[in-house]
Amino acid sequence: MRILQLCNKPPYPPIDGGSKAMHNLTRGLVDAGHLVKVLCISTPKNDLKLDELPAEYRERTNIESVFVDTSLNVVDAFTDLITADNYNISRFFSPDMDIRLIRLLTEQKFDIIQLESLFMTPYIPTVRRYTNAPIILRSHNLEHVIQDRIASGERNFLKRPYRKFLAKQLHTYEMEMLDRVDGVVAISPLDAEHFLEHGTRTPVITIPFGVEPSEYEPDDRVRSGPPVFFHLGSMDWLPNEEGIRWLLDTVWPKVLLKRPNAKLHLAGNKMPADLLEREQKGVTIKGRVKSALDYMRSKQVMVVPLFSAGGMRVKIIEGMALGKVVIATPIGAEGIDYTEGSDILIARNANEFAEHIIALDGTPDYTRMIGENARKLVMTKYSDSNLVKDLVAFYERVRKK
């Protein structure tokens, strides 16, 4: 099958949840014998450097990019507010990208056009004009849910109404897009249920984030000794920053009252300067790490304090694949088919979060059991090869309509 994958940012190198979700799927499709062409947007924040990509990857994906300046622009944002366009989406549209897409669709024939995330939907009219191939929207998150949760947590009373307006506007747009594509691939069952409740007749399937098991072998040496708690995530994503500040200000002091020697390590791209300079007992904070897998593999317990995210957290699946214990809020664990207390620990408030950390500090057998169960879950339900089979079967069903 010939698949055109349109990405809102470079899928390689896979340095964050979104790029990993795109990259892993691309690799899985290619490994299964399908021909994939990757056309992505390159932005000031995420710039594709072709000469730094592995030659094999360039050859297998024929990847190319078009630069689009997605930087926030106050004038454009205000104009969209007046015209009822959604600035979160419209800033990803570029005439240059549109022209390249037209040429590509004119020169090559594809069986499936896959839009990676809602941000690529402005190109639907162009795709419709130049090909009859079915359009599949792969929804990484329910974007309006994220914006609504951020708005609910906004402390600035002047910004809150604006954020609420943007969330409502984004919800309308997101639901309209359901009826403009031929199929929707949701990352989580909750997202798929939300789409179906909207009443869309567009086929919807859940294909979660997957991993290649061979890349996630645990390091058994790490399991001995007191556990080190850690968080790894891009800190220019507001939900991550919001959660980490809550963890440091509200949860960690409770932990230290019972476990004064507890250790917490935090890392991530674009770590705020004030956090890098912060001095707090038992806490080590750094910015971007050279290898995310090596960083996670060297520690025992992952903490995921999220309150305004949506979809499915890639880092949790990776941590579980490595046999790590994960402590997460209910929102952080959304989309994962877990069994609470068996393969993950869920914390609904600061007290529960602290209690889980305290309980794990000193119970190595309990820690090992949850980590082993977590890895079994991922190997069973989140393997790339199995998920790609389900996705291709969905492609075939959509093509026959």
CA gap 283, 316 in Å, rounded: 21
Nearest to 14 by CA among 212, 201, 292, 264: 292
Q: Domains plus CATH for the chain?
A: 2-210+383-399 (3.40.50.2000), 214-381 (3.40.50.2000)
> Could you tell me which residue, 24 or 221, shows the higher pLDDT?
24
Q: Is residue 147's pLDDT more than 70?
A: no
Query: Which DSSP category does 214 fall into?
Result: G
For the segment 346-395, what is each residue's pLDDT rounded down to a tens digit?
Answer: 999 999 999 999 999 888 889 999 999 999 999 999 988 889 999 999 99
pLDDT value, residue 77: 47
What are the residues whose beta carbons fall under 8 Å from the beta carbon of 291, sequence distance 6 or more?
A: none
CA gap 376, 370 in Å, rounded: 10
pTM (2 d.p.): 0.77
Q: Is the peptide bond before 218 cis (omega within 30 degrees of 0)?
A: no
Q: Is residue 291's pLDDT more than 50?
A: yes
